[in-house]
Chains A and B, each alone.
Chain A
Amino acid sequence: MIAFLRFEIVRTLRNVRFLIMLIAFPVLLYLIYAKQQGISQGLTVATLLLVSMAVYSGMGSAMFASGPQLARERHNGWMRQLRISPITTPGWFAAKLVQSVLMIIPGLAVLVVLALTYGHVQLAAGRLGTLVVIIVAGTIPFCTAGLVIGLMFDSQTAQVAQMITLLVLAFLGGIFISWSSLPSGMQTVGKLLPSYHLAQLGWNAAAGRPLGMSHVAALAAWTVGLGAIAAWRWRQESTAA
């Protein structure tokens, strides 16, 4: 499994253009808005936006690292080749999860550096450390979401499905616009989404407030639920076809 993980990381890192595109959008948004003045949720705009963009970049990287690529490789037959090798299903899933978690690190690192320099964000090392851990661990449900999309959609539609999912998560989860300014129906839906819970955890960590175990529980529930769907689809594909 380690060999497979290393192989997957090496070939993904080689796709530099893909990596830059993943990072470019949240970084650009940060550059545009971080200089605005104001306080919200007890945080300066530059700090608030660091969390929002880190969540957005993390969700995007985690999902794009696995989903469309997986759909493409199910289509072109690489997955069939892997299925007749001794690599185990849990080993494959674990490697894919670790791979997508690692994929979020470049974007997160760029955003943190940008926030500390360009944004003049002042965060105690403890708070910043907690924030980084939360973002990295908190993207796991989005990794499983990427796997689900990669297993449900074909190579053409996976990209679009991924994009739509990401935008819905970002808007209804309160990352692009303040959650409280959404219509009440959308607020209700938004409050169920993992993006909402991850952003809340991030802001709480940055502000030094209690994190809120309900948010952690919600993210865990999403991980388990999406993981079960992915496992079901995987089994379905290996037996029915």
Chain B
Amino acid sequence: MFHNVTKVYNGRVTALDHVSFEIPRGATVALLGPNGAGKSTAIDTMLGLRKPTSGVVRVLGMTPAAAVAAGQIGGMVQTGGLPDGAKVSELIALFRQLYHGSRSQADLLRLAGLTDIADRRVEQLSGGQTQRVRFALALAGRPDLLFLDEPTAALDVEARRSFWQSVQTIAGQGTTVLFATHYLDEADANASRIIVVSHGRIMADGTPSQIKAYTSVRIIRFSTATPDTSALLRLPGVNDVVASGDAVAIRSGDADATLPALYALGGPVRGLEVGGGGLEEALIALTGGGAAGQGEPGGRAAGVSNSSDMTRVG
């Protein structure tokens, strides 16, 4: 449960702004957003590494501290280093001993793809190998709930694929997984639900296909002598029109249909630009920010979370 959580750093920077969500057990959920959106703050808060300025966080029905002490959650945090002088196998053995009912050493080495480098010392590992060791540590206690904060940042394509395969194996065993990423593709391929965050707020919350629909939003800008806003609004695909002087910005969910219709109107259209696509633009579309004005974007994703609904994780 993540209820109405606000996190303010140093009394100035608001990393989370009245965020609420709930994740049912067994789900695999992505927190998707650009850098600085508040994803890591949310995950750190659920792991008990940070205290919310206000609001309530519950994981598996407990406080994060209690869940950590009970060994029921595992996490890969963004800056999780490893101690010098230790071997990979020793680190994993240590974490296995810290938890009851831990996974076997061989399973952990295999799941994280570390079997060949078990005898290496930590300081000899590459960035990607370090990240895989941290994955093994997160899995050691067979957690009911697993947090992964940008888990594939240092991994190459091949390692990424086997990483997500392992995550799917674990999710298949009933573990709830919440991961943060700034790649829509990664969220789409590996999560059954995507929560989009930006500037510390939840922008959208839905299935991957619902979220992806936003990336088809285009912003069409042009100049015309006398913009007829109401005619433009009737064009196919158009959600929103903002005109100031002779400059017009149209937000369209189907630019392929909008553009021919726009020219068919017959007015002079100059300096036409079509922008959009990608997560950033989808976020702009969702937030209603940007040059196209403050209008409410048409058709928000299912279950857009306003700040007050009660939520629960796991």
- Type the 1/0 row for A73-99, where 1 means its CB is closer than 8 Å to any CB of B: 101111011011111100000000000
Complexed CA–CA distance, A15 and B71 (Å): 31
Please state if A10 and B77 are interface contacts (CB–CB under 8 Å). Answer: no
Given contacts A3-B97, A4-B98, A78-B80, contact A84 B49 (CB under 8 A): yes
User: Contact check: which of A11, A12, A75, A85 meets B95 at CB < 8 Å?
Assistant: A85
Nearest chain-A residue to B133 (Cβ)? Answer: A81
Please state if B85 and A86 are interface contacts (CB–CB under 8 Å). Answer: no
Chain B residues numbered 80-117 whose CB sits less than 8 Å from any CB in chain A = 80-86, 90-91, 93-95, 97-99
Complexed CA–CA distance, A229 and B68 (Å): 25
Contact of A232 with B by CB under 8 A = no
Contact of A33 with B by CB under 8 A = no
- Give the one of A73, A83, A86 with max B CB within 10 A: A86
Nearest chain-B residue to A3 (Cβ)? Answer: B97
User: Contact check: which of B51, B80, B84, B99 meets A81 at CB < 8 Å?
Assistant: B80
Complexed CA–CA distance, A99 and B269 (Å): 76
Contact of B153 with A by CB under 8 A = no
The count of chain A contact residues (Cβ–Cβ below 8 Å) is 27
Please state if A73 and B47 are interface contacts (CB–CB under 8 Å). Answer: no
A89 → chain B closest CB, angstroms: 10
B248 → chain A closest CB, angstroms: 48
Residues in A whose Cβ lies below 8 Å from that of B68: 83-86
User: Contact check: which of A12, A15, A77, A240 meets B80 at CB < 8 Å?
Assistant: A77
Please state if B85 and A15 are interface contacts (CB–CB under 8 Å). Answer: yes
User: Contact check: which of B49, B90, B134, B141 meets A83 at CB < 8 Å?
Assistant: B49
Nearest chain-A residue to B9 (Cβ)? Answer: A241
Please state if B94 and A80 are interface contacts (CB–CB under 8 Å). Answer: no
The 8 nearest A-B residue pairs measured at CB: A76-B81, A11-B85, A3-B97, A77-B81, A77-B79, A86-B71, A81-B80, A11-B86
